[in-house]
Chain A
Amino acid sequence: MNWLTNAYGDGATLIYKGWSLQMVAGVLLATLALLGVMWLLQTGGAKRWIRALSSTMRLLVVALIALVLMDPVVRSQELIPQQSYLAHVFDISQSMDIRDMNDHSRIRAATVQATAGAEPRARLDELYRHVDFAFDTNTVSMPVDAAFAASGQPTDLEAALRNVQFQVSGLPLSGIVLYSDGNSTVGANTDSTLETARALNVPVYTVGTAPMEPGTDFWIEKVIHPTEIADHVDTRVTVLVGARGMAGKQARVSLLRDNGLVEEKRVNVPTDDQVLSVDFDVRPGTKDYAVYLARVTKAEDEVYPWNNEDEFFMTVSAKERRVLFVEGSPRYEYRFLRAAFDADERFKVASIIYVTKDGDFYRQGIDDGSELRQGFPKTEEELFAYDVVVVGDIKASSFSDKQLETLNEFVRKRGGGLLFLAGRESFARNGFGDTVLANALPLQFHDPRQSVALQRPRTVVPTALGRERSLFGPYDPATDGTPPWERLPKMAGLFPLYELKPGAQVLCEVADGDAHFPLVAFHRYGKGVALACGISATWQWKFQTPADDPSYQAFWKEMVLVLMEGQQDLIHVGVSPDVTSVDGETSIRGTVLAEDFELNRTAAVTLAVTAPDGTVEEITPRPSTEEGFTFEQSYTPREAGIYHVVARSIVESTGAEIEHETVFLATGESPELSEIDLNDTVLRQIAMASGGTYVHLSEYETLQEKIKPLEGSLYTHSEESAWDSKWLLIGMLGLLIGEWALRRAGGLA
């Protein structure tokens, strides 16, 4: 149809608003058939060519009529520039100062192409009016010809989008063009950022302003270490070192404490782009807090040397936790669980194992011959010397009423931890459920299914709380592959906890058909914590996974830590994250309990924060609305080092002062220089969520054709009917007259 288009001018297109092409084709075919019939029925002696020409001319008339019925319309558009806006938003945070864009800094590379007046951006500015912004944690409007420079501040992508939306509200906006490396180091998580992008109702066109292929680099990916260790005890610290472009080279990895070298190791980098695991064994000899630095020495040609260190700390405790393990008979679960505790020098485990039906027992791990000589403790004095009691698969009748009562008070009054293990004896009907110890347990025994294990082996999975507590060891979806619990074999001997008491928290569960049942749950009882484990044979995990798999050990360590946390005073304070950077924000949150151990939201609390230089800041925290907390306070450290936080309150009934202390570490590292890779994933997600697209800075010229202008803002359209053209009418008449004349001349009937 180009000839028709050309007849109507440049940029015009021909569209058909009436009959569809299929209908027209159908009519033409029918006409052709009809003409064929008429051809055969024709009389007279006209020559063949006359008859053919006549039929063709009739067909053409029908075609022209069909064309009219298609209602052809010529649509033309006219460019009207400068009717809508584009907001150009530049990331000027600290990471944009990294010089890895052809020896330019990232912000320089972006502004060379994309600030007002730059050639690649000129075309965009012809079509759209523009407003320019710069952002880090704040967003400011930039005048024309302003010079952009990195600010040295962190990045807050979500705040930038919200601020820009606020500042351009009311303007006819065709889109926001966001120039960034995609790493937001302050503020909410990615989901929240995407939600903000979605709510903008304006497309965001993201431009990646960091190299697609970063340069050679060593970095500290993560340091895996316990948070609390015992003094003079060997503790394993694992440093994960990332390497890119370093294949065939050697990484020198050091662990330092107080600027003194603890140990250095050299590891070969076999292949490119991988994470190496380097283990160190440390033995802090002093109490209080041990601050360490993991470092990988800068390589000669390394482009990013500032992410080569990671600082962390561990709380050193002299207190050895005493565990009393009472077991009903020798069994696999006992030996593997005892070995797990024995492997951790923080625990001192004494055991009583009943070995005959007559009640003879065997003692293990005792300090001297007198400990547990009479069997399970009968007095509070003897039992309260322990921190945790583990009750294995043992009949309730193995205990006297007095012993059960003492055990109940061990949890309620002393604040001890009770670990209650599943088995045919411990979960038997008319067993512990009918004793005073039932008060302490987080489950009830009314359900008749409670005493029977599931028939088939099943998979055990952590709940959200279990994953948060790293129940099977640390797991980072971003860097780790298969979750640790998916590597574990299916388990036999599972006793689901069918009926939990209100307030019990579930750490892992099992599926039975469409239903999910808790398997491990705990609750607070008095001052202590009681945990029920419905997995009677966790030893299968240990025995059916490689010997160096830490999941089994991690599971039981976490169980005990849950029980230890129960030993909490009436006031408790914690800091999250407990390692932050100078000028980075951290949250101090805590709990005050009334004497009945219910949350006390009306108690007055003061916080005393002691900085590394010794200055003390007194703060009154605000009430917390988060579940499980009664007070909270944000805090921004201004210097590097260990900060001590003491929370104080008063017991209303007695006037006694209660307090709890914790610490956190502020490091001199900047997260801006730790996460240096282009995060095009986030940039693409922001674009997709808002209806925009993503381009890399190297493809900036293509951005213009990707931008969808605000409806009616860039072009106006006009339409002109083509069916009422006089030439069509002339054509039709001409054909009809010509055909009549031909028929007459040819003697056709």
Chain B
Amino acid sequence: MNHVRQLPRSRTLALLAAASAALVLVSGTVFAQFQQNASSRSQTWIDDDPNALVFSRFQFTTLTSSVQDRWDVMPHFDDLLLDYVRRNTNIKVSTKRWHERVIRVDDFEKIYTNPILFMTGEGNFRFSDKEAKTLGEYFKRGGFLYADDCYADRAPHDRFFRVFSEEIEKALPGHEMRVMPYDHPIYHCFYDFEQGAPWCKGVRHRDMGLFYEGRLVAFLTAGDVHCGWGNRVTPPGLQEPCLKMGVNIIVYALTH
């Protein structure tokens, strides 16, 4: 026969009271924190302001569906970057979440609503003639595209870097990607990067830029900076530099 040990009634009541108090305390703290976050978030998270930063993920068309190469790899890392921007600058950032900011490469109208685009992937894409022409017009009107090579497990590990370098030149025939000089303002407009963008993993390449009439319109990094924003499979201590490089890119794009 099993006996269940029973606590004295008074102790039970005391334990219940203590648990209730703890619950109230924790709930209140969580709630207060939430309120504070919401309040500070509202200060520079902006609705309905056409000047609020919308850092759009650029959705390209993967060539074959069997290859694991998505345009939307770790899209919430973009939000982490924007959060960092908001905390460390006075830039007004849109409240839209990443999935609300996506621009498809073949959305020939919507592309002209977002002056700054971000593209990453493993490199299994091509721009059609119409898409390349639209991108060219996008650059001429003042648009800016940041592209980052997301490390591919299969060789070549820098496929995105190679493919992007070729494909983007279709947008502006006669203009070629060139190596970015370390004294370019994109490396010094907010934080200083004496040796270019941080490198997390993949094949080491110098950062590349596409220029139109003296203006940098496309910026390509090879070292998976984007994964560094989310601290994903990066060497220790690189998340902060990657986030800072992201801030530089955004500040540069908003001032040049």
Q: Are A492 and B142 in contact (CB under 8 A)?
A: no
* Docked CA distance A542–B137 (Å): 12
Question: With A329-B89, A329-B92, A355-B90 known to touch, is A334 a contact of B48 (CB < 8 Å)?
Answer: no
B254 at the interface (CB under 8 A from A): yes
Query: Is A660's CB within 8 Å of the partner chain B?
Result: no
Q: A353-B255, A544-B112, A544-B113 are in contact. Are A335 and B89 (CB under 8 A)?
A: no
Asked if residues A543 and B90 are in contact (CB atoms below 8 Å), the reply is no
Interface size of A by Cβ–Cβ distance < 8 Å? 37
Q: Give the complex CA separation of A435 and B189 in angstroms.
A: 32
SS class of chain A's interface: helix, strand, loop or mixed?
A: loop
For the complex, what is the distance from the CA of A177 to the CA of B22, rounded to whole Å? 105
For residue A364, which residues in chain B have a CB less than 8 angstroms away from its CB? Answer: 255-256
A493 and B112 within 8 A (CB): no
Question: Contacts of B254 on A, CB cut-off 8 Å?
Answer: 330-332, 334-335
Set of chain A residues within 8 Å of B115, measured between Cβ atoms: 332, 335-336, 539, 543
Q: Are A424 and B255 in contact (CB under 8 A)?
A: no
- Residue of A355, A424, A540, A542 touching B89 (CB-CB under 8 A): A355
Taking CB atoms, residues of chain A closer than 8 Å to B140 are: 547
Report the bound CA distance from A502 to B113 in whole Å. 38
CA distance A579 to B137 in the complex (A): 38
Nearest CB of chain A from residue B225's CB, rounded to whole Å = 20
Cβ–Cβ contact B50 & A493, under 8 A: yes
- In the complex, are the beta carbons of A330 and B112 less than 8 A apart? no
In the complex the two chains form, is A537's CB within 8 Å of B255's CB? no
Residue of B nearest to A489 (CB): B112
Q: B109 → chain A, closest Cβ, in Å?
A: 9
Q: How far is the CA of A424 from the CA of B47 in the complex (A)?
A: 12
Given A332-B50, A393-B51, A423-B51, the answer on whether A543 and B92 have CB atoms closer than 8 Å is no
Is B88's beta carbon under 8 Å from chain A? yes
- Tell whether A546 is near chain B: CB-to-CB under 8 Å: yes
The A-contacting residues of B in range 211-256, CB under 8 angstroms, are: 215, 250-251, 253-256
Chain A hits for B189, CB < 8 A: 362
Shortest C-beta distance, A454 to chain B (Å), equals 10
With contacts A334-B254, A353-B255, A362-B189 known, is A536 near B142, CB below 8 A?
A: no
Q: A335-B254, A542-B141 are in contact. Are A536 and B51 (CB under 8 A)?
A: yes
Expressed in whole angstroms, the Cα–Cα distance for A455 and B50 within the complex equals: 11
Residues of B within 8 A of A466 (CB): none
Contacts of A542 in B (CB 8 A): 141-142
Tell me whether A333 is interfacial, beta carbon within 8 Å.
Answer: yes
Residue B74 is within 8 A (CB to CB) of chain A in the complex? no
B177 at interface (Cβ–Cβ under 8 A)? no
Task: Kindly provide the distance from the CB of A580 to the nearest chain B CB, expressed in whole angstroms.
Answer: 39
- Set A335, A355, A491, A536: member contacting B256, Cβ < 8 A: A335
Taking CB as reference atom, which chain A residue is nearest B115? A332
Please tell me if A716 contacts chain B, counting CB pairs below 8 Å: no
A354 at the interface (CB under 8 A from B): yes
Q: Which of A330, A542, A546 is packed against the most chain B CB atoms within 10 Å?
A: A330
Give the complex CA separation of A122 and B53 in angstroms: 81
Within 8 A of B (CB), among A103-123: none
User: Smallest Cβ distance from B228 to chain A, in angstroms?
Assistant: 22
Given contact pairs A493-B50, A543-B112, A335 touches B90 in the complex (Cβ within 8 A): no
CA distance A545 to B112 in the complex (A): 9
Instruction: Note all chain A residues with C-beta closer than 8 A to B141.
Output: 542-543, 545-547
Once the chains bind, are B91 and A493 in contact (CB under 8 Å)?
A: no
Q: 1/0 per position for B156-167, CB-CB distance to A under 8 A?
A: 000000000000
User: Given A536-B51, A544-B113, is A357 in contact with B90 using a C-beta cutoff of 8 Å?
Assistant: yes
Most chain B CB neighbours (cut-off 10 Å) among A332, A364, A540: A332
Instruction: State the CA gap A393–B254 with chains docked (Å).
Output: 14
Is B143's CB within 8 Å of the partner chain A?
yes
Closest Cβ of chain A to B78, distance in Å, is: 18
Q: Which residues of A contact B112 (CB under 8 A)?
A: 543-544
Mask: chain B, 170-198; 1 = CB below 8 Å from A; 0 = not: 00000000000000000001100000000
Which residue of B has the minimal Cβ distance to A457? B50
A321 to B87, alpha carbons, bound, how many Å? 37
**Chain A residue with Cβ nearest B256:** A335
Task: Establish whether residues B142 and A539, one from each chain, have CB atoms under 8 Å apart when the complex forms.
Answer: yes
Tell me if B90 and A356 are in contact (CB < 8 A): yes
Instruction: Kindly identify, within residues 382 to 436 of chain A, every residue whose CB is under 8 Å from any CB belonging to chain B.
Output: 393, 423-424
User: A330–B251 contact, CB under 8 A?
Assistant: yes
Instruction: Give every chain B residue within 8 A of A356 (Cβ-Cβ).
Output: 88-90
Of all chain B residues, the one with the shortest Cβ separation from A362 is B189
Pair A339/B142 contact, Cβ less than 8 Å: yes
In this complex, what residue of B is CB-closest to A494?
B50
Contact with B along A540-557 (1 / 0, CB 8 A): 101111110000000000
B49 on interface, CB distance cutoff 8 Å: yes
Annotate A66-103 by CB proximity to B: 1 below 8 A, 0 otherwise: 00000000000000000000000000000000000000
A331 CA to B85 CA in the complex, in Å? 13
Report whether B92 and A331 are in contact in the complex, using a CB–CB cutoff of 8 Å.
yes
B49→A424 contact, CB < 8 A:
yes
- Docked complex: A310-341 residues within 8 A CB-CB of B: 328-336, 338-339
Residues of A within 8 A of B113 (CB): 543-544
- Chain A nearest CB, measured from B91 CB (Å): 5
Asked if residues B90 and A493 are in contact (CB atoms below 8 Å), the reply is no
Alpha-carbon distance between A636 and B256 when the two chains are bound, in angstroms? 51
Kindly state the separation between the CA atoms of A526 and B3 in the bound complex, as whole angstroms.
Answer: 98
By beta carbon, the residue of chain B nearest A357 is: B90
- Contact for A335 among B50, B52, B88, B255, CB less than 8 A: B255
CB distance from A490 to the nearest CB of B (A): 11
Cα distance, A351 to B112, chains bound together (Å): 26
Given the contacts A355-B90, A357-B90, A493-B49, A330 and B255 also touching, CB distance less than 8 Å: yes
B51→A336 contact, CB < 8 A? no
In contact, A330 and B89 (Cβ under 8 angstroms): yes
Closest to A455 in B: B48
- Across the interface, name the chain A residue whose C-beta is closest to B85: A330
Bitwise interface map of B from 46 to 74 toward A, beta carbon under 8 Å scored 1, else 0:
00111111000000000000000000000
Find chain A residues with CB under 8 A from B90 CB.
328-329, 354-357
Shortest A540–chain B CB gap in Å is: 6
* 16 A-B residue pairs with CB within 8 Å: A328-B90, A330-B89, A331-B52, A331-B92, A331-B254, A334-B254, A334-B255, A336-B142, A339-B215, A355-B91, A355-B190, A362-B255, A491-B50, A543-B112, A544-B113, A547-B137
Q: A328-B90, A455-B48 are in contact. List 10 more A-B contacts (CB 8 A).
A: A329-B91, A339-B215, A355-B89, A362-B189, A424-B49, A453-B49, A539-B115, A539-B142, A543-B115, A545-B141
Binding site for B on A (CB under 8 A): 328-336, 338-339, 351, 353-357, 362, 364, 393, 423-424, 453, 455, 491-493, 536-537, 539-540, 542-547
Q: Which 10 A-B pairs have the closest CB atoms?
A: A330-B254, A547-B140, A537-B50, A331-B51, A493-B50, A492-B50, A329-B90, A547-B141, A357-B90, A544-B112
